[in-house]
């Protein structure tokens, strides 16, 4: 988001939206249960519930079922990381089982970064037999990337990545044992810059931009996450893997509203990109950049895309690298307002989380909502499960212009382990519901239907 500067984020306020497409039949009920709680951030090496002052988290699970959750304290105050080694969900799993690992991007015990954290985990093992973990965090002048080659026990870091001017909202995705792509909003050009590292995150070199500089979308867009297809094809072995960058932009050059979802597609490891629209996302004058558009790629290469217009969550799926899309109706049933979708496509279905409100107005309560698609079809979504309440009152997405309602910030997430159980990281009012502060919570699925493994 332009001039967002980490937890000083700036974005569009929630707005009235156009009506959803034709009504669907009542969604099936896919009941799920979770264990959840506030993570402690006082003792490195310890686990259990406690307190923290973090918000806007990221979560991913490795192929060894290692869970990594990162969250930010704010620019200049550092980002915190927790881990759970070999910690699948299921009966007996605990939301407070993650071990606090401190601030991987800290310098002398004080965090140099602390904004817009994102985590990526390599899909192939390094020489020590582990999966590299990358923690990207925004600072005022650049992007800090910390890398662990020993399952989060230690981290090395590059505090300032070369070639980066004034930047905002970075995202990171990994490939192979040592390759990763880093994208961010270039505040000078307003385009989405793409950098690549092939040495475990020690140095990133700018390759390209996700949008041609001459395209009208380059000057007016909101980027979402980046993902990489991990399938080990011959082209991928040569470093020419498929990568996908989500973003929202105006429908056409005469429009100024971010009212259509787009996907930038690369089939050469990030060197070049083709931008493809998701036509069913377009509602004239209605923003679909309600923090953030989000894309996931299933193990078979199928794409799933989710977006919010402030009132509802919708999704779309593509089996041809985004050339054509099949779209859902409203996924966020039961919520008059729904924002911040995050989606994970697996070998046996799709999980999605979002923040949903029980009503509109100052007295509304917001929940972390969890919804599953067991059939992997566009309209196969079940009824949402409320994991936990997270916020009381209205939500402001105006960043530094907000005078209240900023506790949820701009992001949270979900991933699945190798057995298909969901792991969720969310923001919550602090010290309690309705409080003016924020803390990070962790939830793990303990019952219901586990899906498959992710890409």
Domains of the chain: residue spans and CATH: 6-447 (2.120.10.10)
ω into 431 cis (within 30 of 0): yes
Q: What is the pLDDT of residue 161?
A: 67
Q: What is the pLDDT of residue 12?
A: 35
Q: What is the pLDDT of residue 23?
A: 43
Q: What is the pLDDT of residue 165?
A: 59
Q: What is the pLDDT of residue 166?
A: 65
Q: What is the pLDDT of residue 189?
A: 84
**Which regions in the chain score pLDDT beneath 50?**
1-24, 108-109
- The answer to whether the CB of 388 falls within 8 A of the CB of 443 is yes
The two beta strands, 106-107 and 99-100, are unpaired
Determine the Cα–Cα distance for residues 86 and 374; give it in Å rounded to an integer: 25
């Amino acid at each position: 988001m332009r001039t967002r500067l980490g937890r000083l984020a700036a974005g569009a306020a929630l707005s009235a939206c156009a009506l959803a497409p034709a009504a669907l039949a009542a969604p099936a009920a896919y009941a799920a249960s979770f264990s959840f709680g506030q993570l402690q951030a006082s003792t490195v090496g310890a686990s259990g519930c406690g307190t923290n002052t973090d918000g806007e988290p990221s979560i991913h699970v490795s192929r060894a079922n290692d869970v990594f959750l990162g969250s930010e304290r704010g620019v200049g105050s550092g980002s915190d990381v927790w881990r759970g080694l070999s910690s699948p969900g299921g009966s007996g799993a605990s939301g407070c089982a993650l071990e606090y690992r401190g601030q991987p991007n800290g310098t002398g015990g004080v965090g140099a970064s602390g904004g817009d954290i994102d985590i990526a985990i390599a899909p192939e093992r390094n020489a020590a037999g582990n999966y590299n973990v990358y923690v990207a965090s925004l600072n005022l002048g650049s992007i800090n990337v910390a890398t662990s080659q020993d399952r989060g026990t230690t981290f090395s870091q590059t505090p300032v990545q070369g070639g980066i001017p004034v930047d905002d909202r970075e995202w990171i995705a990994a490939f192979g044992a040592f390759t990763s792509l880093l994208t961010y909003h270039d505040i000078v050009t307003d385009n989405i810059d793409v950098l690549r590292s092939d040495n475990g995150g020690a140095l990133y070199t700018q390759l390209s931009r996700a949008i041609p500089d001459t395209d009208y979308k380059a000057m007016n867009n909101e980027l979402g996450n980046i993902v990489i297809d991990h399938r080990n094809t011959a082209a991928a072995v040569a470093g020419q893997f498929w990568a996908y960058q989500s973003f929202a932009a105006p429908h056409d050059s005469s429009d100024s509203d971010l009212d259509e979802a787009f996907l930038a597609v690369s089939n050469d490891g990030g060197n070049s990109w083709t931008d493809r629209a998701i036509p069913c996302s377009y509602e004239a004058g209605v923003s679909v950049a309600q923090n953030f558009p989000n894309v996931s790629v299933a193990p078979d290469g199928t794409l799933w895309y989710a977006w919010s217009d402030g009132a509802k969550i919708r999704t779309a799926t593509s089996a041809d690298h985004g050339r054509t899309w099949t779209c859902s109706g409203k996924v966020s049933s039961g919520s008059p307002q729904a924002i911040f979708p995050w989606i994970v496509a697996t070998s046996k279905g799709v999980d999605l989380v979002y923040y949903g409100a029980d009503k509109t107005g100052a007295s509304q309560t917001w929940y972390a909502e969890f919804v599953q698609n067991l059939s992997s079809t566009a309209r196969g979504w079940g009824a949402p499960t409320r994991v936990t309440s997270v916020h009381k009152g209205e939500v402001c997405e105006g960043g530094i212009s907000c005078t209240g309602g900023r506790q949820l910030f701009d992001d949270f997430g979900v991933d699945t382990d190798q057995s298909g159980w969901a792991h969720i990281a969310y923001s919550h009012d602090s010290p309690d519901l309705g409080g003016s502060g924020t803390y990070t919570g962790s939830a793990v699925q303990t019952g219901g239907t586990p899906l498959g493994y992710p890409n």
